[in-house]
Amino acid sequence: MADHHVVIDQLVKTYPGAPKPSVDSVSFSLPRGEMLALLGPSGCGKTTILRMIAGLVDPTSGAIRIDGRDVSSIPVHKRNMGMIFQAYALFPHMTVAENISFGLEMRKVGRSEREERVLKALDLVKLTGLGGRKVSQLSGGQQQRAAIARSLVIEPELLLLDEPLSNLDAKLRDEMRDEIRDIQARTGVTAIFVTHDQDEALSMADRLAVMSAGRLEQIGTPREIFDRPQTQFVASFIGAGTFFKGKVVEPGLAMVEGLKPLRFTSHARLGSTVQLLIRPHRLVLATDAGQPNSFTGTVEHVVYRGQTLTLQVRCGDRLLQADLPTHAGVLPEKQSEVTLSVAAEDVTLVGEEAP
């Protein structure tokens, strides 16, 4: 792992009196210049990991290494990390420029250099000319930018962001996703951010680390996590889908109760019980009910979403969700009969039990 900027090695945090660890033997590494999202439901341990990396919480055991140096026992003010909190934590009695300059003053940076770096930071986050304003005079998005500038002006080893967009309205949140990603890419700073929002993680991060109950379920690129989840938790937490339980009767073929056999391309042992996943956007309308991996049923529910039409289709005792593009010609209506099909390579193996 010599080429990795950040290495988290078997990190554990158990709070006094707690029946089990909040963070349980978590390990991952991050190359320089990448952005990693710690993603998971409330209480999964993602914020605790971020706070341990920042130095705000002491780990019970394990190591946090930056450029090969173990910083686990180094005080927070000596770690040279920029942190952006959910509530921004800007000083209301100071101007924007004074807020941004604060960390430089604490580091005894000379006045002329401070002023130059503050101006560059304001320009970086598109707040040029607003340095003299009070925090209360800024919009939510501008306050977010000021918090980013304050964190980056000290030229941190690592940028940490805790739910950075949760206080913004939906439209501004989408804009700031792109802003933060663009700023991180332009500065080249290594970054880790915490979120419970899968869309936020998928659109912003180079890689995702999905957490559940204190443990790391899977780490990978957004495409790997979405298209090839390794556990049923990851598959259900990221995106929608229909799960099927079946028994492998020949290579790449599973018998599923109440449905036709399902073909898939992942390797699974003969006789094993498998959990298979089909994402809604992988299902397409078919004309031949006899083709492999086809399902015929009745449309029970229809939701128009602009670019897509979401169907709930009853096939025997199973309810399948399908997302069809609205430009795909004549679209099914409620109570109509449809046949859906899926390619074998789009059926994902997410679990296997030995025979």
Distance, in Å, from the CA atom of 188 to the CA atom of 33, rounded to the nearest integer, reads 5
Distance, in Å, from the CA atom of 270 to the CA atom of 254, rounded to the nearest integer, reads 9
Q: What is the CATH number of the domain that holds 330?
A: 2.40.50.140
| pLDDT tens profile 216-246 | 999 999 999 999 999 989 999 998 899 999 9
| pLDDT tens profile 160-192 | 999 888 877 777 888 888 888 988 998 999 999
Say if CB 348 and CB 302 are below 8 A apart.
no
The contacts of residue 175 (CB under 8 Å, 6+ apart) are: 141
pLDDT for res 278: 95
Split into its structural domains, the chain has a count of: 2
Of 181, 200, 234, which closes a domain?
Answer: 234
Tell me the C-alpha to C-alpha distance, in Å, between residue 205 and each of 37, 160, 174, 196, 323.
6, 13, 14, 13, 25
Q: Is residue 230 located within the same domain as residue 297?
A: no
Write out the H or E segment, with its range, that includes residue 101: helix 96-106
Q: Is residue 178 located within the same domain as residue 303?
A: no
pLDDT for res 2: 46
Tokens of 164: 């950075």
Q: Is residue 167 located within the same domain as residue 287?
A: no
Q: Is residue 37 located within the same domain as residue 165?
A: yes
Q: What is the CATH number of the domain that holds 126?
A: 3.40.50.300
77 pLDDT higher than 90: no
pTM of the model: 0.85
Domain around 319: 241-353
321 pLDDT higher than 90: yes
54 pLDDT higher than 90: yes
| pLDDT tens profile 253-302 | 999 987 889 999 999 999 999 999 999 999 999 888 888 899 999 999 99
Of 234, 264, 296, which closes a domain?
Answer: 234
Q: Is residue 111 located within the same domain as residue 19?
A: yes
**Could you tell me where the beta strands, DSSP code E, fall in the chain?**
4-13, 23-31, 35-39, 61-66, 69-70, 81-84, 158-162, 191-195, 207-212, 215-220, 242-250, 253-256, 262-263, 273-278, 284-285, 294-304, 308-315, 318-325, 337-341, 347-353
Of 177, 203, 234, which closes a domain?
Answer: 234
Average pLDDT over every residue of 8-27: 95
Q: Is residue 79 located within the same domain as residue 206?
A: yes
Burial 229-240 (b: 16+ CB within 10 A, else e): bbeebbbebbbe
Q: Is residue 221 located within the same domain as residue 245?
A: no
Q: Is residue 129 located within the same domain as residue 186?
A: yes
Q: Is residue 167 located within the same domain as residue 30?
A: yes
Q: Is residue 284 located within the same domain as residue 304?
A: yes
Q: Is residue 80 located within the same domain as residue 117?
A: yes
pLDDT for res 222: 95
Q: Is residue 192 located within the same domain as residue 303?
A: no
